[in-house]
A and B are shown apart, each in its own frame.
Chain A
C-alpha cells in the first residue's frame, strides 16, 4: 500500500485495479493493530466501508469518480464531520457530535474521498507537542517515544503510521507544519483565505487555516485542489481561481526560481544541525540572504493575538449549549490562554497588548512582503529544536518557542509547507518554505523538486 504514491493509489482505485473497500479495510486493520501504541485516532467513521463500497459501485458502473476516489482521509477533531465526534481533544466537548459537515468535508465527499475517522490533537489546538490532549499524548510513529508535534498530532501521526492516505489539520502558528516535520511527512499551511474555515472550531480566527498532510507532495497538492476556493460561508476566502496544484511541477520552472535564506532564522535556530541540513538541501540554488529584522518577535507577537481571540472564541463554551463549561473542564494550557486573554482584554488596558501585537504583526508581514519582491521562495527550518521525549518537563516559554519559525507565515498570511529532508539522531527534520500569499503553485513546484532530489 505505501509503495504507491497518493496519485498512483487514486488512479489504481479509479481504474478498478484496487477496490476502495479493500483499500479502506487495510487502513482499518492497521489502525486496529497500531493505534493503541500511537494514539492518533480517537473515533472511527462507522460508515467508512459503506462509503468505500459506494465508490466501487460507481467505478463498476463506469460512472465518473472524483479526484479523491477511494482515498482514506483522517480529520482533526476540531473540524466538523456530520454525525462524528468533534471533541477538539477536550473533555469540554467530549461527546459533542457535529451536526453538519464543514465546507472542506463537503468538498472531500463530493470528490469521493472516504472519511475514516477523527484524529487526536492538542486540546482546542493549544499546544505544540500533542501532549495537551485530554485523551493522552500521540506517539511519534517516525521516532517512537518522542512527541508527534502539535497541535495536529493525530493527523500527522495517522499519515506517518499508514492509517490513511491524507489527513486534514489546522494551522494557527505551525500546527500542521510542526508535526509534519517531527513525523517525517509533508504538511501545508495554505495562504490565509485560500481554504474555507466554515466548520472549523476556531483557535484564533484571524490566523487559522485548514490544510492537508500526506506522505508525498502530490497528496497534499491534490487535497489542496479539492478544499481550496471561495465560500460564501467564510467571507475571508479569496475569490482567486484554484490552480491545478498536483500538476504544479509542470507549470513553474524551478530552475528560474529565486530562493532566499535568512541569517535571522539561523540565529534563532537553537540546534544548529537543523539549520545545516536545511541550508545544505538548497545550496545548489545559491540562495540569497534576506533580512527580516523583526522576525525574532514572532512568538511575542503571536501569543497575545491568540490569547485574546481564543478567549473571545471560547465564550460560547459556557456549559449551556455545547458540552461543559470550559474553565471547569479544560487543561492548564487552555486555561492559561483563557485567563491570559481575559486579563489583557480588560478595559483598563485599553487594548494596548492586542494593538501593540497587531502593529508588530503588520511589520513582520510587511518585511516578508518586501522579501518576496526579491525572492520567490524563502527556505527555513520548521522548528528550532528536535522534538522532546513524551512527558519531558518543558517550560511554557520553551513550548511556545517551537512556533518561532512557523508563526511568521500565519502572521503574514502567506502560504507555507514542510517536506522531510533528513534525520538527526534518527528523528526526522523538515525543510520549510514560505511563498507569497496565493502562490501555492510555486510552493508546490519547489517542494516537488526537493522531493525528487531527496528520492534520487
Chain B
C-alpha cells in the first residue's frame, strides 16, 4: 500500500467517523425531542383526564366488559359436538391445551 493510498484511506475513515458522529448526534437529538414531546402530550392528556373524571359520568356502558367477555378455559372441556373440526384446526399447532392453541411469537 502506498503512502498516498494510506492517506486517502485515513481521510475516508475520518469522514466516515465524522458522519457517524453527526448521525448519532442527530439521532440523540431526535430521541430527546420525542421524549420531550411525549412528556408534554402525557401532561396534556392527564389534565384532560382529570377534567373528564370530575364530570362523574359513568363509563359502564362503554366498550367491552373484559371480565364478562373473557372465555373461561374450562367452559368447553366436555363439548365434543365437532371433534373433526377441532382436530383439523389444531392439527398443526405445536402446543395445545384442549381448546386453546398455546402460541408464542415466531414459534409457529
Residues of A near any B CB (own CB < 8 A): 294, 297, 299-301, 303-304, 307, 327-328, 332, 335-337, 339-340, 342-344, 351-353, 355-360, 362-363, 396-397
Distance of B22 from chain A, by nearest CB (Å): 16
Query: Apart from A328-B30, A343-B42, A358-B59, what 4 extra A-B contacts exist at CB < 8 Å?
Result: A340-B45, A357-B48, A357-B52, A359-B57
- Would you mind naming 21 contact pairs between A and B with Cβ atoms under 8 Å apart? A299-B48, A300-B51, A303-B44, A304-B52, A307-B45, A332-B37, A335-B34, A336-B40, A336-B44, A339-B34, A340-B38, A340-B41, A342-B38, A343-B42, A343-B45, A355-B63, A358-B63, A359-B58, A359-B62, A396-B40, A396-B44
A198 to B51, alpha carbons, bound, how many Å?
35
Main secondary structure of the interface of A (DSSP, over half): helix
Chain B CB within 10 A, most for which of A304, A332, A340: A340
- The answer to whether B45 and A358 have CB atoms under 8 Å apart is no
The interface residues of chain A lying within 8 Å CB-to-CB of B63 are 351, 355, 358
A335 to B31, alpha carbons, bound, how many Å?
12
Distance of B49 from chain A, by nearest CB (Å): 6
Main secondary structure of the interface of B (DSSP, over half): helix
Residues of B near any A CB (own CB < 8 A): 30, 33-34, 37-38, 40-42, 44-45, 47-49, 51-53, 55, 57-59, 61-63
When C-beta atoms are compared, the residue in chain B nearest to A308 turns out to be: B45
- The answer to whether A356 and B53 have CB atoms under 8 Å apart is yes
- The answer to whether A297 and B55 have CB atoms under 8 Å apart is yes
The interface residues of chain A lying within 8 Å CB-to-CB of B49 are 300, 304, 352-353, 356
A74 to B42, alpha carbons, bound, how many Å?
37
Q: A297-B51, A301-B52, A328-B30 are in contact. Are A340 and B44 (CB under 8 A)?
A: yes
Distance of A292 from chain B, by nearest CB (Å): 13
The interface residues of chain B lying within 8 Å CB-to-CB of A299 are 48
The interface residues of chain A lying within 8 Å CB-to-CB of B57 are 294, 356, 359-360, 363
A18 to B33, alpha carbons, bound, how many Å?
55
A303 to B52, alpha carbons, bound, how many Å?
12
The interface residues of chain A lying within 8 Å CB-to-CB of B40 are 336, 396
